[in-house]
């Protein structure tokens, strides 16, 4: 059934048991909304030099947007900023692929659980849900950098 390609087990697991949820101390905070559906996220980033010490978040939204935030926390915390940007670029490429991109081994190595979102890219209305937390992270990081909180 087609629905299963969107609602992969991995996504539903992250939705039901989100990782790293809740707001903790951070260098910068942003609030992003998806105006078409009302999904919202408040996200904070904490840097330790070039390393992402924490990404904490609180929000409400559909399974896709919530699971995506959980996966983001898993993937990015502990990474160097440059590596995190590569992961973000890969996730963006996957989500903009309109279901045409079959993740290869190299991509799976970069994206880990996030490759499960490949099926979501077939549904244009839901791509924004998957990207909500990632755009918030990018914005929060830019804010933290401009405020000179990172090395």
Q: Alpha carbon of 77 to those of 57, 74, 118: distances in Å?
A: 12, 6, 22
CA 5 to chain centre: 19
Q: Does 9 interact with other proteins (rule: CB under 8 A)? A: no
Which residues have a Cβ under 8 Å from the Cβ of 8 and sit 6 or more positions away? 116, 119
Q: According to the binding rule CB under 8 A, does residue 10 interact with other proteins?
A: no
Number of chain positions touching other proteins (CB under 8 A) = 21
75 binds other proteins (CB under 8 A): no
Site for other proteins contains 124 (CB under 8 A): no
Provide the mask over 17-46, with x wherever binding to other proteins is found by CB under 8 A and - wherever it is not: -------------------xxxxx------
Q: Does 53 bind other proteins (CB under 8 A)?
A: no
Distances in Å between the alpha carbon of 101 and those of 9, 93, 97? Answer: 20, 9, 6
| Order of all β-strands in the sheet with 39-48 | 28-34, 39-48, 51-60
Task: Indicate whether 63 belongs to the interface with other proteins (CB under 8 A).
Answer: yes
Q: Which of 10, 62, 92, 145 binds other proteins (CB under 8 A)?
A: 62
Residue 3, interface with other proteins (CB under 8 A)? yes
CB of 64 within 8 A of CB of 72? Answer: no
> Of 7 and 85, which CB lies nearer to other proteins in the complex structure?
7
At residue 99, what are phi and psi to the nearest 5 degrees? 80, 5
Residues in contact with other proteins by the rule CB under 8 A: 1-3, 6-7, 12, 36-40, 60-66, 123, 126, 129
């Amino acid at each position: 059934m087609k629905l299963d390609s969107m609602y992969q087990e991995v996504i539903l697991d992250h939705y039901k048991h989100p990782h790293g949820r809740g707001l903790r101390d951070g260098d910068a905070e942003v609030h992003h909304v998806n105006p078409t559906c009302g999904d919202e996220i408040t996200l904070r980033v904490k840097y330790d030099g070039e390393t992402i010490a924490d990404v904490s978040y609180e929000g409400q939204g559909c399974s896709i947007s919530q699971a995506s935030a959980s996966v983001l926390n898993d993937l990015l915390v502990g990474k160097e900023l440059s590596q995190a940007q590569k992961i973000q670029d890969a996730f963006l490429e996957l989500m903009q692929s309109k279901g045409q991109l079959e993740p290869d081994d190299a991509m799976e190595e970069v994206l880990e659980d996030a490759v499960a979102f490949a099926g979501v890219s077939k549904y244009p209305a839901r791509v924004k849900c998957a990207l909500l937390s990632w755009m918030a992270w990018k914005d929060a990081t830019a804010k933290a950098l401009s405020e000179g909180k990172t090395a």
